[in-house]
């Protein structure tokens, strides 16, 4: 059982000007599955390695259960980490692979065996304990890598893109299994991925990083419904949120001929803002085809069966704009169709600094 706290924790790699992780403040509660997500190079692995004790913390501190572990070596943190490119020992059986860390820690043989068997039971690996890794499927190997972590019953699991060796279908299956495993064990887990879908489906909460800076940490639904800034708005959700640059004209926001519907609260905030440059975000499911709306032409139809993503080129403010609309899978709209769009759901308004104003 463990909670984790990063307090203004930074890592500045030698020779680098910019921190790879910049004053990270993050509180992970006991039993939580927190996902760290962000583009490549955003500092996810560095943040995880700082917690594991594998990376120096240049400023700030890290606490596990109120114990300051900032200067403690990895083995004194009671943490187990599964890496991106986990390697199993090819000459060892599954049981030996899973028990290796325990053997090194000089755990007696009988106890080792009991712990390995318990982990194998949890992971459905019992029939494979005597096999060598080469005689396992990709998914089974991944479970063995996980097994090596859970035999130690650590206080915290750290996983750095453990799925990246697996094909797409297997990833979907194993991420469900992993979330289920975490729920059953109740062990605090920090899981790193660059895949926002994985983050949204697995995380109790999701922390979004960009350029080493934490952008937002919230439950998946809150991230989706109320992104704090333009970056989070564009990063979370697929297809991405449509984000249009608009201008305030006489207190109203307009996209070409289309009035952006503003609640009284939002209209007040837009009027009060010091800038007249805004961006309006609309999710693909919140645009609809209606006569008299913003005119455009369908350029691509992605028909997925259950739903279709319709890409429309519009003309407004003298510029072309590509918008994506999520439609029913049975939609009859075709490439080349002339259409008109309007907003049929919540909108998000961002100021010129990219911060959410409201909406
Ligand atoms: P992510 O895991 O999100 O892809 P990383 O934490 O690996 O990001 O990297 C964050 C930043 O730190 C990147 O700019 C990367 O180039 C840099 N970086 C990572 N590891 C090192 C290192 N050992 N030495 C110097 N710079 C590094
Ligand atoms: Mg990484």
pLDDT on residue 317? 61
Highest mean pLDDT among 139-143, 210-214, 269-273 belongs to 210-214
> What average pLDDT score do residues 300-324 get?
89
> What average pLDDT score do residues 185-193 get?
95
3-state helix, strand, coil split of the chain in percent (to 5) is 30, 35, 35
- If pLDDT is split at 50, 70 and 90, which confidence band does 359 have? low
Residue 178 has pLDDT above 90, yes or no: no
Best probe residue, ligand 1, of 17, 39, 44, 46 (max atoms within 8 Å of C-beta): 46
- The most distant pair of C-alpha atoms in the chain lies apart, rounded to whole Å, by 78
Q: Which residues line ligand 1 (CB under 6 A)?
A: 13, 16, 20, 38, 40-46
- Report which protein residue has its CA nearest ligand 1's atom 20: 46
Domains of the chain: 4-234 (3.40.50.300), 240-358 (2.40.50.140)
Joined together, the tokens standing for residue 207 give 């922390």
- Report which protein residue has its CA nearest ligand 1's atom 7: 45
pLDDT in tens, 268-293: 988 888 888 899 999 999 999 998 88
pLDDT on residue 315? 73
Q: String of b and e for 39-56 (b: at least 16 CB within 10 Å)?
A: eeebbbbbbbbbbbbbbe
pLDDT in tens, 96-109: 999 998 998 899 99
Percent of the residues in the chain that have a pLDDT greater than 90, as a whole number: 69
Beta bridge partners of 214: 209
**What does residue 57 show for φ and ψ, rounded to 5 degrees?**
-100, 110
pLDDT on residue 85? 65
Joined together, the tokens standing for residue 341 give 């769009």
* Least distant ligand from the CA of 49: 1
pLDDT in tens, 34-89: 999 999 999 999 999 999 999 999 999 999 999 999 999 998 999 998 876 667 89
Joined together, the tokens standing for residue 226 give 């109320």
pLDDT on residue 150? 87
- Give residue 44 CA to ligand 2 midpoint distance, Å: 6
């Amino acid at each position: 059982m463990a909670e984790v706290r990063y307090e203004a924790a930074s890592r500045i790699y030698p020779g680098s000007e910019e921190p790879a992780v910049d004053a990270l403040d993050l509180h992970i509660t006991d039993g939580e599955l927190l996902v760290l997500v962000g583009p490549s190079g955003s500092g996810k692995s560095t943040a995880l390695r700082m917690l594991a004790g594998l990376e120096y913390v240049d400023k700030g501190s890290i606490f596990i259960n109120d114990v300051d572990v900032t200067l403690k070596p990895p083995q004194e943190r009671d943490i187990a980490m599964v890496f991106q490119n986990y390697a199993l020992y090819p000459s060892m059986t599954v049981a030996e692979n899973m028990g290796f860390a325990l053997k090194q820690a000089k755990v007696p043989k009988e106890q080792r065996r009991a712990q390995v068997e318990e982990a194998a039971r949890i992971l459905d690996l019992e029939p494979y304990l005597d096999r060598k890794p080469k005689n396992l499927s990709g998914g089974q190997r991944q479970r063995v890598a996980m097994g090596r972590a859970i035999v130690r019953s650590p206080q915290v699991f750290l996983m750095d893109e453990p799925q990246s060796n697996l094909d797409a279908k297997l990833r979907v299956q194993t991420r469900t299994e992993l979330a289920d495993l975490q729920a059953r064990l109740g062990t605090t887990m920090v899981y790193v991925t660059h895949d926002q879908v994985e983050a949204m489906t697995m995380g109790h909460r999701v922390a979004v990083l960009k350029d080493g800076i934490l952008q937002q940490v919230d439950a998946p639904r809150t991230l989706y419904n109320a992104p704090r800034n333009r970056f989070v708005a564009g990063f979370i959700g697929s297809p991405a949120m449509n984000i249009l640059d608009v201008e305030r004209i006489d207190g109203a926001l307009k996209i070409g001929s289309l009035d952006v519907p503003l609640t009284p609260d939002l209209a007040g905030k837009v009027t009060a803002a010091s800038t007249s440059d805004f961006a309006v975000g609309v999710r693909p499911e919140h645009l609809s085809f209606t006569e008299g709306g913003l005119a455009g032409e369908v350029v691509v139809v992605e028909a997925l069966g259950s739903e279709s993503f319709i890409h429309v080129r519009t003309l407004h403010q003298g510029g072309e704009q590509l918008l994506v609309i999520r439609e029913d899978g049975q939609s009859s709209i075709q490439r080349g169709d002339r259409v008109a769009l309007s907003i049929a759901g919540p909108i998000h308004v961002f100021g010129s600094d990219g911060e959410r104003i409201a909406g």
